[in-house]
């Protein structure tokens, strides 16, 4: 994919923009004329990472397709806060059908466009981690296996936030949710195998799979742009902070997401046809504790007593990621 690192400019590639940047190198989000695909007036919580991630990704897709884009949205926070009658925040053709079927609806849209010869119009399917990794997995897998011409974006906030923070297949170990309370001998979510959607997607050997966090705008935009340059099934998994569900300050959204990557707990990488093709290196390696202690959902690891055992376990997961993906 296109390398987007900026030759040294005060903030280089890290900030959204920079007054000194050559417009060709500017991000979509720094553009005063960006499409704001999801626009103001939506009812997302203060500091919602999903609202942010959705605008990042879809604005990029809108630019990549010159506005020729249709979205199919799964049930979930994003759908509920963006389209309560009589107000919609979407500025592109958008359909919500059900919780589990967004990938299939997207397939149907793509099929209709193909049969009508509208190859220039592209399709995005999107949903949260519940709609993607749990209830929607079958539809998503089918869409992958058929290699339908759809970019599916999962906004992963690691639990069922819309229904009040219940555990999902993407909830990390030790995290507290309303169905994995911070009580008992193993407080919070149990340590399982985890459900790595990106690897599951890669197993279908689709043209493109990538992960990203809402903290790295330029990375998201580059990946969306690359994804839209390809045909067939593509999957983008974006970690989006949920200040409510993670119980962190609403201002911490980006900081927390950044730490998820810098600790190694959330590997950021790309894969083509099932093979990892690029890895976003950790810039300032950070102990997982720095990430965990910012979030109330992990408070039980520090109070009343420090759970060294659990902290070590989580650190081991991060270290394994770092070693497995070569993140440093």
Partner 1 sequence: MLEQLEGSVAVAHAVALCRPEVIPAYPISPQTHIVEGLSAMVKTGELAPCEFINVESEYAAMSVAIGASATGARTYTATASQGLLYMVEALYNASGLGLPIVMTIANRAIGAPINIWNDHSDSMSQRDSGWIQLYVESNQEAIDTHILAFRLAEELSLPVMVCMDGFILTHAYERVDVPSQEQVDRFLSPYEPRQVLDPSEPVTIGAMVGPEAFTEVKYLAHVKQAQALDLIPELARELDGVLGREQGGLVRGYRLQDAETVIVALGSVLGTIEDAIDQQREQGVKVGALGIKAFRPFPLQEVRDALAGAARVVVIEKALAVGIGGIVSQDIHIALGSSATPVHTVIAGLGGRPITSASLTRLIEGALAGELAELTFLDLNAELVERELQRTREKRRSGPHAENMLRDIGVVAAGPV
Partner 2 sequence: MEKPFAITLEVDSSLANKTGAWRSERPLYVDRLPPCNDACPAGENIQRWLYEAEAGGYEAAWRALVEDNPLPAVMGRVCYHPCTTACNRAQLDEAVGINSVERFLGDAAIEHRWRLPAPAAASGKRVLIVGAGPSGLSAAYHLARLGHEVVIRDAGERPGGMMRFGIPTYRLPRDVLDAEIERILELGVTLESGCRVTDILKSMSEGAFDAAFLAVGAHIAKRAYIPAGEAAHVLDAISLLRGMEEGERPVLGRRVVVYGGGNTAMDAARTAKRLGASDAIVVYRRTRERMPAHDSDVQEALEEGVQMRWLSTVKHADSGTLLIERMELDEQGFPQPTGELEELEADSLVLALGQEADLSLLDGVPGLEVKDGVVQVAPNMMTGYPGIFAGGDMVPAERTVTVGVGHGKKAARHIDAWLRGAQGAPGPRHELVGFEQLNTWYFSDAPRTVVGQLELVRRQSTFEEVQLGLDESNALFEARRCMSCGNCFECDNCYGVCPDNAVIKLAAGERYAFDLDYCKGCGICARECPCGAIVMEPEPS
Nearer to partner 1, 43 or 293 (CB): 43
Q: Is the backbone of residue 152 left (phi > 0), alpha (psi -120 to 50) or beta?
A: beta
Distance CA 73, CA 301 (A): 36
| 106 to 82, 102, 128, 202, 213: CA distances (angstroms) | 19, 6, 15, 19, 23
> Closest distance between partner 2 and the C-beta of residue 179, in Å?
27
Distance CA 242, CA 257 (A): 10
Residue 314 Cα to chain centre, angstroms: 21
> Closest distance between partner 2 and the C-beta of residue 91, in Å?
5
Nearer to partner 1, 96 or 258 (CB): 96
- Asked if 104 and 143 touch (Cβ cutoff 8 Å), the reply is yes
Q: Does the footprint of partner 1 cover residue 177 (CB under 8 A)?
A: no
Nearer to partner 2, 99 or 208 (CB): 99
Q: Does the footprint of partner 1 cover residue 222 (CB under 8 A)?
A: no
Q: Does the footprint of partner 1 cover residue 80 (CB under 8 A)?
A: yes
For residue 105, give both structure tokens: 């609806």
For residue 270, give both structure tokens: 């790309």
> Closest distance between partner 2 and the C-beta of residue 101, in Å?
17
> Closest distance between partner 1 and the C-beta of residue 117, in Å?
8
Q: Which does 48 bind (CB under 5 to 8 A by kind): partner 2, partner 1, none?
A: partner 2
Nearer to partner 1, 139 or 259 (CB): 139
Distance CA 277, CA 55 (A): 26
Q: Which does 231 bind (CB under 5 to 8 A by kind): partner 1, partner 2, none?
A: none
> Closest distance between partner 2 and the C-beta of residue 77, in Å?
12
| 325 to 20, 204, 268, 279, 316: CA distances (angstroms) | 34, 19, 9, 7, 14
Q: Kindly tell me which residue out of 30, 88, 147, 277 binds partner 1, with binding defined by CB under 8 A.
A: 88
Q: Which does 250 bind (CB under 5 to 8 A by kind): partner 2, partner 1, none?
A: partner 2
Q: Which does 76 bind (CB under 5 to 8 A by kind): partner 2, partner 1, none?
A: none
Judged by CB under 8 A, the stretch of 95-103, 255-263, 266-274, 296-304 that binds partner 1 is: 95-103
- For partner 1, what does the binding mask look like between residues 106 and 125, x meaning CB under 8 A? xxxxxxxxxxxx---x----
Q: Which does 16 bind (CB under 5 to 8 A by kind): partner 2, partner 1, none?
A: partner 2
> Closest distance between partner 2 and the C-beta of residue 159, in Å?
19
Q: Does the footprint of partner 1 cover residue 96 (CB under 8 A)?
A: yes
- Asked if 17 and 27 touch (Cβ cutoff 8 Å), the reply is yes
Q: Does the footprint of partner 1 cover residue 146 (CB under 8 A)?
A: yes
For residue 5, give both structure tokens: 């690192």
Length of the chain: 328
- Asked if 242 and 161 touch (Cβ cutoff 8 Å), the reply is yes
| Residues of the shown chain interacting with partner 2 in the complex, contacts defined by CB under 8 A | 8-20, 27, 29-30, 32, 36, 39-44, 46-49, 51-52, 55, 82-83, 85-91, 217, 243, 249-255, 258
Q: Could you write out the three-class secondary structure of 21-37?
A: CCHHHCCCCCCCCCCCC
Please spell the DSSP secondary structure of 87-149, one letter per residue. ---B-S-EEE--SS-HHHHHHHHHHHHHHTT-TT-EEEEEEEHIIIIITTHHHHHHHHHHT-S
Residues that bind partner 1 (CB under 8 A): 67-70, 72-73, 79-80, 83-86, 88, 90-98, 100-101, 104-117, 121, 138-139, 141-142, 145-146
């Amino acid at each position: 994919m296109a390398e987007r690192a900026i030759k040294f400019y005060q903030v280089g590639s890290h900030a959204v923009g920079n007054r000194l940047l050559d417009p060709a190198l500017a991000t979509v989000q720094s553009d005063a004329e960006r499409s704001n695909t999801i626009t103001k007036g939506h009812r997302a919580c203060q500091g919602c990472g999903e609202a942010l991630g959705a605008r990042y990704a879809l604005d990029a897709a809108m630019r990549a397709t010159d506005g020729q884009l249709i979205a199919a949205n799964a049930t979930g926070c994003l759908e509920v806060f963006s389209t309560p009658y009589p107000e919609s925040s979407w500025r592109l053709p958008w359909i919500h059908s059900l919780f589990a079927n967004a990938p299939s609806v997207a397939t149907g849209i793509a099929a209709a466009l193909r049969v009508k010869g509208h190859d220039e119009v592209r399709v995005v399917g999107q949903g949260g981690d519940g709609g993607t990794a749990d209830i929607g997995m079958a539809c998503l897998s089918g869409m992958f296996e058929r290699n339908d011409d759809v970019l599916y974006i999962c906004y992963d906030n690691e639990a069922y936030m819309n229904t009040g923070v219940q555990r999902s297949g993407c909830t990390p170990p030790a995290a507290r949710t309303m169905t994995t309370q911070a009580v008992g001998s193993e407080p919070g979510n149990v340590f399982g195998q985890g459900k790595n959607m990106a690897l599951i997607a890669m197993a279908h050997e689709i043209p493109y799979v990538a992960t990203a966090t809402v903290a790295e705008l330029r990375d998201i935009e580059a990946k969306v742009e690359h994804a839209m340059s390809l045909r067939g099934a593509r999957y983008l998994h974006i970690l989006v902070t949920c200040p409510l569900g993670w119980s962190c300050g609403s201002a911490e959204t980006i900081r927390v997401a950044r730490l998820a990557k810098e600790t190694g707990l959330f590997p950021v990488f790309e894969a083509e046809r099932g093979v990892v093709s690029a890895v976003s290196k950790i810039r300032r390696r950070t102990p997982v504790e720095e990430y965990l202690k910012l979030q109330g959902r992990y408070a039980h690891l520090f109070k009343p007593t420090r759970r060294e055992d659990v902290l070590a376990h989580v650190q081991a997961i991060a270290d394994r990621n770092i070693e497995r993906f070569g993140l440093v």
